[in-house]
């Protein structure tokens, strides 16, 4: 095929060093722009996100680990960065592509560093001045593609060869790269009362976001966060009253260790899963997962809850999905994406367990579904009363 190449636009860089570069995909398409900070290189699966705010939360979300994130909103970076909104201690994306990156000084009073400075310090391969509309349409039509960000001086053939050599997301365990290497505790900080006791929950970390842990804490749960590959017997040594399966990157079918752990706890303790945790619970029940063409990445996905009849506007970030036709009896797909009809939630008839594909903590995004954390706590309370 004839490579699709966009022209390099002019860009007022000021004192910021910008180098002619391009995002080259494994199908040969190339999208030119200007790399931030010199001869920056990055490689990974290129996906697009429709969020119009919350760029720092996106760039530090471990669920995006190893991906090149393309922002569809035209203008990014004017309010700078603030460490209080980081979802992980450091940036997680392999690279990022903008139509226009704000290069002057940030204009928000809480900003601690300009976005270009933050990207450079985090060693994130950043490309600006790109025709992101053409790039997004290409991904929509061809599906998420592996790609590389590289200076034009590297040569087009070398870039295409590198893009084709990037490992496929299918079968790739990325969670093991981002979950904690040692367990740690996060007390909720609330004084227990007779009316509202504090319960103990184990968090299986596959790349958990800080805001998820904050939501679990705030609803009255003391947390022990475990590496995602921790054997269930070790977790039971801490006597948890509930188990939470976190978000994370990569192919859920590659996380057999997590599937086995979830299967061990199903029916024994209350379980709640989000994103990758949702997919792992679906696999643990005997279902299957598959890769979506270009995934769901944005802050305005409508989801219908069949149990309540309500439609929730949700924040989403995932490339894989549970196959509803593969689920055994007793496991219900009770939430559906109204854009494409894919599964967004599961509920168990005979076990205290549920999971959702979207992110109820948002960060960034709407708060329509934050009540799911309180639902998990209530499930623990009821199970504990019956024990």
Q: Which residues are catalytic, by number?
A: 275, 359, 361
Q: Which of 277, 363, 260, 262 is nearest to 320 (CA)?
A: 277
Per the CB < 8 A criterion, the answer to whether 97 and 70 are in contact is yes
Per the CB < 8 A criterion, the answer to whether 319 and 289 are in contact is no
Q: Give, in order, the Cα–Cα distances in Å from 77 to each of 55, 56, 156, 157, 224.
A: 8, 9, 29, 32, 35
Q: Give, in order, the Cα–Cα distances in Å from 275 to each of 209, 219, 321, 343, 362.
A: 11, 20, 9, 11, 12
Convert 66-105 to b/e letters by CB count within 10 Å (16 or more is b). bbbbbbbeeebbbbbbeeebbbbeebbbbbbbbbbbbbee
Per the CB < 8 A criterion, the answer to whether 290 and 321 are in contact is yes
Torsion of CA 66, 70, 75, 81, to 10 degrees: -10
> Using CA of residue 90, residue 96, residue 100, residue 104, what is the dihedral sign?
positive
- What backbone torsions phi and psi does residue 374 show, to the nearest 5 degrees? -65, -35
Residue bearing tokens 């940036």? 91
């Amino acid at each position: 095929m004839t490579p699709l190449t966009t022209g390099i636009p002019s860009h007022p860089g000021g004192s910021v060093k910008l180098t002619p570069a391009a995002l080259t995909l494994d199908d040969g398409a190339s999208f030119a722009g200007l790399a931030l900070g010199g001869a920056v290189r990055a490689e990974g699966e290129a996906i697009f996100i429709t969020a119009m705010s919350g760029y720092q939360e996106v760039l530090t979300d471990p669920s995006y680990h190893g991906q090149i994130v393309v922002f569809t909103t035209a203008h990014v970076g004017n309010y700078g960065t603030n460490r209080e909104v980081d979802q992980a201690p450091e940036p997680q994306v392999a690279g990022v592509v903008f139509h226009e990156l704000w290069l002057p000084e940030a204009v928000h009073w809480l900003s601690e560093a300009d976005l270009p400075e933050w990207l450079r310090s985090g060693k994130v391969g950043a490309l600006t001045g790109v025709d992101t509309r053409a790039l997004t349409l290409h991904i929509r039509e061809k599906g998420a593609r592996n790609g590389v960000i590289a200076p034009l001086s590297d040569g087009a053939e070398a870039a295409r060869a590198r893009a084709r050599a990037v490992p496929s997301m299918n079968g790739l365990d990325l969670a093991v790269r981002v979950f904690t290497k040692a367990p740690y505790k996060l007390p909720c900080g609330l004084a227990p009362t007779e009316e509202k006791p504090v319960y103990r929950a184990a968090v299986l970390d596959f790349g958990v976001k800080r805001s998820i842990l904050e939501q679990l804490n705030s609803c009255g749960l003391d947390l022990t966060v475990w590496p995602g590959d921790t054997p269930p017997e070790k977790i039971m040594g801490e006597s948890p009253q509930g188990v939470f399966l976190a978000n994370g990157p990569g192919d859920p079918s590659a996380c057999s260790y997590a599937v086995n752990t979830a299967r061990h706890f199903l029916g024994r303790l209350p379980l709640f899963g989000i994103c990758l945790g949702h997919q792992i619970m679906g696999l643990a029940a005997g279902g299957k997962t598959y890769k979506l063409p270009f995934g769901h990445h944005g802050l305005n996905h409508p989801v219908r809850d069949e149990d309540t009849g309500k439609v929730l506007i949700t924040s989403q970030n995932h490339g894989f999905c549970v196959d509803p036709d593969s689920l055994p009896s007793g496991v219900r797909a009770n939430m559906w994406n109204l854009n494409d009809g894919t599964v967004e939630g599961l509920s168990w008839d005979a076990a205290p367990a549920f999971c959702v594909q979207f992110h109820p903590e948002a960060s960034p995004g709407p708060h329509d579904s934050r009540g799911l954390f309180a639902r998990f706590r209530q499930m623990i309370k009821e199970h504990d009363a019956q024990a």
